[in-house]
Structure formats: C-alpha cells, structure tokens
C-alpha cells in the first residue's frame, strides 16, 4: 500500500464557500481565483466545486488551457496579463481576457495582428506598488488602449493592500475613484478580504470580485477572525496515520536536537508526515494536531518524513489509539472535528496560503464529493 498520508479536496466545501462569497456581494460577478494550481488543490480537482463561478482567474497560460480542456466556455482572466507577444495568439485562440499593467503590454497589443479584438483589464497602482499604472498615468493608458482596434472592452481594475487590516481600503478607493471618474467600463476591485470585510462600506461598486483564499476555507484576516467566524468550510484536509507509539520517562527527549524533553511519563505518537510532504519545519512543540479527532500537540522538531505527537489528551479522554490511528494535520477528521489550516500556519509564522501551495507532489490527493 502507499505511504499513509493523503490530501483530500472537499467539493461541497468549495461550493459552500463560493455561495458564502455570493451572499456577501449578491450583485457582483465572481472570479474564482485558481492561480498556483488552485492554491495547491489542483485545478482539475476543484473545478466541479467552483464551476458555479462566473469566471476563472489565474496567471499561467498552461493553467488557462487546462481550464478550457475541462469544458469551461466562460471568461478566463490572466491576472498578470501576457509576458511576451506570442502569448496574445493564445489569448485569441482560447478567448482569454487579460490584465494590462504596463506600457510594454500595450505595445504588444498595438503590434498584434488579430481579427478578434481582446477584452482587457487595465490595472491601476492605487497604493499596492506592485503592478499597474500610477493614477496620474492611468487615463492616458486607457486612452491609448481605447484607440487600438485590437482592443474590445476595457475594464478597470486595482488591488487592495490592506483590506485585511485596520488601514482598510478607503485610501485606495479614493485614489481609484478620482482617477477613473467618468471612464466607462466594469470595475474589479475586491479581493477576498475586501469581499467579506468591506462589502457594505465600499464606495465603488465592484462589478467583478476576485476571491481567492476564502474559496479554500481560510480566513483572509486571521487571527482577528477565523474561518468559522466567516462561515467558511475547510476545503483541504491533510491526514496521515500513526506509525508507532513510544513511551517516554522524565528526562527522555524526542526528535532531532532533543528540542522536547519529557518532564513526566507520557506516550508519544509518531506520524507519517514531515517537511518533505509540505508540513512546515518551523512548526514546534505546541502546534495543534488531531489524533482520532482529539486535539493534541506536536512535540519537538519536524523531520523530513515524520513528526511526533503528545498522546496524553487521548488517554485523558479515554480515546483508544495505536498503530494506524488517524492523524489530521489540518482540515476535517473522520470523527467530525476540524483543525483550521490557519492555526497551523500561525504556529509556523506564516499564512494558510503557503501551506496549501506547499503540499508536496509525493502526497497522494483524493477528491471528496460528499456533503460538507
């Protein structure tokens, strides 16, 4: 049999989280953001759960081809646009919409020979300072695009840097509102955090919202609010099994570097999961984990293929354990309890996005199409 570690994608949870987004912004159309191979879940594995979206947004042309091969005939948006002139040929063939964030991309469009005008999303740098035209240059970029026969409709787009925190979005909304006054075209502004946190306060109607992490059951503003607070469900479970149980006496250590030393007798479970599976090596003693649905903690240092767990809470709860017992690193246990990926990410000093994207190729994936 294969090594007992598995990542499970929950289709019904994806559908639920998409519905939660629509509940927050009922008048907007929804891009399901599936960049980075659907945040590590796999585009093919999430497609059924997210096909109720109005479009798919991503970065990579090869991923756009995969979405089309799945039978999707609706809009697909390249969030960073094209990278070289020949990419525009594929945009024409696959009917892709694409962002325009720099003069070079306008130059490519101007030189492109096509019989089919293209839909573009003109991006403004309203304060994020990554991609986009400055507010002072935005209108001239729009004018130049609008004069090209290669361009059909122009939508207006920006990205919020602080929608998940106390600074909020008002300062960028003001910049965008001033720079786009009287310009025609649909607007696309709201990311995950703005979609949930600022839907009622937004001054500018977002015709298209771009949820990413919330579709995958992670809170955009954790730990201020949890996924459960937002009514989101985990879409990815990383689970394994116990390979062994060790009995420690006071003074015994466990794992590389003897990072954990027992102060009293305790049982330690050894689970088939390590940093080569994508579990963060920076997680240390105290990181939460579930064994047979009971919450316990990691002990010592994560190694390449294994990690060690405190089995004391199971003994206290009278829950049996042993070789083959279920270990839930994040997501849902078969007993019904859940562990948020955000909690594990916080223990590693990172965010749930990174953990989702980091699950290794050697981990077997499965799709759960049952009820949430």
Catalytic amino acids? 35, 256
Do the Cβ atoms of 355 and 344 come closer than 8 Å?
yes
Orientation angle between helical segments 61-69 and 87-94, nearest 10 degrees = 20
3-state secondary structure of 314: helix
Q: Which of 2, 1, 39, 37 is nearest to 17 (CA)?
A: 39
92 alpha-carbon distance from chain centroid? 28
**Spatial separation of the C-alpha atoms in residues 50 and 12, rounded to whole Å:** 10
Taking the CA atoms of residue 190, residue 193, residue 199 and residue 200 in that order, the dihedral angle to the nearest 10 degrees is -140
Residues 6+ apart with CB under 8 A from 257: 300, 301
Q: Which of 224, 203, 220 is nearest to 212 (CA)?
A: 220
**Spatial separation of the C-alpha atoms in residues 241 and 326, rounded to whole Å:** 5
Beta strands in the chain (DSSP E): 5-10, 29-33, 55-58, 76-78, 97-100, 118-124, 151-158, 187-188, 208-209, 236-248, 253-254, 260-261, 266-271, 288-291, 294-299, 307-310, 326-332, 338-339, 364-368
DSSP 8-state symbol, 133 = B
* β-strands 294-299, 288-291 pairing: antiparallel
H helices of 279-360, in order, are 312-317, 341-347, 352-358
């Amino acid at each position: 049999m294969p090594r007992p570690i598995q990542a499970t994608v929950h289709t019904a949870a994806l559908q639920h989280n998409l519905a939660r987004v629509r509940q927050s912004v009922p008048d907007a159309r929804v891009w399901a953001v599936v960049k980075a191979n659907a945040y590590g879940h796999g585009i093919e594995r999430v497609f059924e759960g997210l096909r109720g979206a109005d479009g798919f947004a991503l970065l990579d042309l090869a991923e756009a081809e995969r979405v089309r091969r799945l039978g999707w005939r609706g809009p697909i948006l390249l969030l960073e646009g094209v990278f070289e002139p020949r990419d525009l040929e594929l945009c024409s063939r696959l009917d892709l919409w694409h962002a325009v964030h720099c003069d070079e991309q306008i130059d490519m469009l101007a030189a492109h020979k096509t019989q089919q005008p293209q839909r573009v999303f003109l991006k403004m740098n309203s304060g994020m300072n990554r991609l986009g035209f400055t507010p002072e240059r935005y209108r001239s970029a729009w004018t130049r695009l609008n004069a090209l026969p290669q361009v059909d409709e122009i939508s207006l787009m920006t990205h919020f840097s602080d929608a998940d925190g106390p600074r909020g979005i008002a300062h960028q909304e003001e910049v965008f509102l001033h720079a786009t006054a009287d310009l025609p075209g649909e607007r696309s502004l709201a990311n995950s955090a703005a979609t949930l946190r600022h839907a009622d306060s937004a001054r500018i109607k977002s015709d298209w919202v771009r949820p990413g992490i919330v579709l995958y059951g992670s809170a955009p503003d954790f730990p201020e609010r949890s996924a459960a607070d937002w009514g989101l469900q985990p879409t990815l479970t990383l689970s394994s099994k116990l390979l062994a149980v060790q009995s420690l006496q006071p003074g015994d250590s466990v794992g590389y570097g003897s990072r954990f030393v027992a102060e009293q007798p305790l049982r330690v479970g050894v689970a088939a999961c390590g940093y080569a599976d994508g579990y963060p090596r920076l997680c240390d003693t105290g990181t939460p984990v579930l064994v047979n649905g009971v919450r316990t903690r990691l002990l010592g240092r994560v190694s390449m293929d294994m990690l060690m767990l405190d089995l004391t809470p199971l003994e206290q709860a009278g829950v049996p354990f042993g070789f083959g017992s279920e270990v839930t690193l994040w997501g849902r246990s078969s007993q019904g309890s859940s562990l948020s990926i955000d909690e594990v990410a916080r223990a590693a000093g990172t965010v749930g996005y990174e953990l989702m994207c980091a699950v290794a190729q050697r981990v077997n994936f499965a799709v759960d199409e049952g009820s949430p």
